Amino acid sequence: MRKVKDPELFCLIKKFLGSYLLSIRQRSDNTADSYRYALNLYLAYVQEKHNKALSEVLCCDFS
């Protein structure tokens, strides 16, 4: 398995789903699960549309 080129991106996603949504915004686990599902769909879209492996997805792919 190749190393992730932008580990900060995945760290930010993890912090957003875990800390920000659940602790700071006090959203439910279902909301975090919905965001996680939507992000997975977007990552699958980026991989298919731009012919990128998951390890090649960068912060600039989000706008």
> What is the per-residue pLDDT across 4-50, written as a single tens digit (0 to 9) for each?
678 888 888 889 988 898 888 888 888 989 999 999 899 889 889 99
Cα 38 to Cα 36: distance, rounded to the nearest angstrom: 5
pTM above 0.85, yes or no: no
Count CB atoms within 10 A of the CB of residue 60. 8
Question: In this model, does residue 1 exceed pLDDT 60?
Answer: no
Encode 31-51: b = buried (16+ Cβ within 10 Å), e = exposed. Answer: ebeebeeeeeeebeebeeeee
Q: For residues 27 and 17, is the Cβ–Cβ distance under 8 A?
A: no
Cα 47 to Cα 53: distance, rounded to the nearest angstrom: 6
